[in-house]
Structure 1
Amino acid sequence: MGAIAAAVVFSWLGMVLAISFLEAPLKFRAPGITIPLGLGIGRLVFRALNGVEIGLATLVVAAVAVDPPGPASLTALGVAVAVLTVQSLLVRPRLRRRSDAVLAATVAPPGGMIDRSHAHYVYAGLEVVKVAALLAAGIALQIGSVVG
């Protein structure tokens, strides 16, 4: 089960890296992408990513419940799941309200660009923590599945 849990964790890690650290920053640099279009795309992509992340977190939690790994793996997984929970329940709703306001033109983006809110920085900081936790969990799970 440790190898399966590690594979799920590394899949989750790859998705977060690809979306949060590649797609999201590059989207607004594409020719012809307006703020409303970029926000609309971002909302769809992050809603989908969040759903997939919840599914992968559920799978990995089930896998480690069946075959518990060592404390390092469990701690790192706990951090990743806790971060995902905070992002899903607290930060994403604030980001959604902010993008609703921008799309409704109640918050004017200065100079045509979106003024990043505090919630954006919190989300990005949590993504860095989640990436580190997933990397640590995946490595610990893989080492445990090779050794065990």
Structure 2
Amino acid sequence: MVLAISFLEAPLKFRAPGVTTTIGLGIGRLVFRALNVCELVFAVVIAAALFATSHGFGIDVAFTVAIAALFFQTVVVRPLLARRTAEVLAGDEGTRSRAHFAYVALEVVKVIALIVGGIALLSA
């Protein structure tokens, strides 16, 4: 889900014919809100599974990193992006937000952590 939405859908939607910045930002708000809700549900399930079972330290670390990245995105970065989106929708084009770079960096961290955790689970 993270790969498909963050690294495919998000940049491609602005290249579609007739999609303005306003429409793209509106779509992005809805899509990323839905993605984060799904991710938070999965994070709760993963956290419960980590506490309920015994497994290797590497698995704990990998999934804890993924959950921490999601938490930081949700609590710190998304509010900054929401504020900037509101400004752009109000007509203030201004400079591009650096929060996007933080969000993308955290997406990369999540993907790597999930891959490492998945491999560790398969190897256990």
TM bucket, shorter chain: over 0.9
**Unmatched runs of 5 consecutive residues or more in structure 1:** 1-14, 110-114
1:7-52 CA-partner distances (Å, limit 9, x unpaired): xxxxxxxx10110011001010000001110000000000000000
What is the CA-CA distance between 1:116 and the residue it aligns to? 3.0
Match of 2:119 in 1: 139
Q: Could you tell me how far apart the structure 2 residues matched to 1:34 and 1:54 are?
A: 30
Cα RMSD (Å) of the superposition?
A: 1.0
**Unmatched runs of 5 consecutive residues or more in structure 2:** none
Counterpart of 1:58 (choices 44, 51, 57) is 44
Counterpart of 1:68 (choices 54, 58, 73) is 54
* TM score, norm. by length of structure 2: 0.96
Aligned residues: 124
Match of 1:38 in 2: 24
* Identity within the alignment, %: 56
Q: Within 5 Å, which residues of 2 pair with 1:1-148?
A: 15-105=1-91, 107-108=92-93, 115-144=95-124
Q: Greater Rg, structure 1 or structure 2?
A: 1
Higher normalized contact order (CA 8 Å, seq sep 6+, divided by chain length): 1
Q: Could you tell me how far apart the structure 1 residues matched to 2:86 and 2:55 are?
A: 42
Q: Could you tell me how far apart the structure 1 residues matched to 2:60 and 2:81 are?
A: 30
